[in-house]
Amino acid sequence: MNLYETVKGKVTPQTAAERYDLPVNRSGMACCPFHNDRTPSMKMYPDHFHCFGCGQTGDVFDLTAQLTGLNARDAAR
């Protein structure tokens, strides 16, 4: 298993969201930072996230990249 897969298996999108100060409720829902979201519409799953409002979806690296302005490869580092 490579480092990418190891990290992906240990860091969830919810962990990454909380690391970047995006509050996630007990149901795994958060207000999406990628559109004007007043009520939680982004669901955090163990291996990916999905916003039911704007359609953004991806894994922990995609979420980190979008929250930090990096590309997914740099976010993985």
CB neighbour class for 21 (10 Å; exposed up to 12, middle 13-18, buried from 19)? exposed
Helices 3-10 and 60-68 cross at an angle (nearest 10°) of: 90
DSSP for residue 35 = T
Show me where the domains of the chain are located: 18-68
18-68: what fold?
A: DNA Primase; Chain A (3.90.580)
Q: Say whether pTM exceeds 0.85.
A: yes
**What is the pLDDT tens value at each position of the chain, 77 positions in all?**
687 788 788 899 999 999 999 999 999 999 999 999 999 999 999 999 999 999 999 999 999 999 999 987 787 77
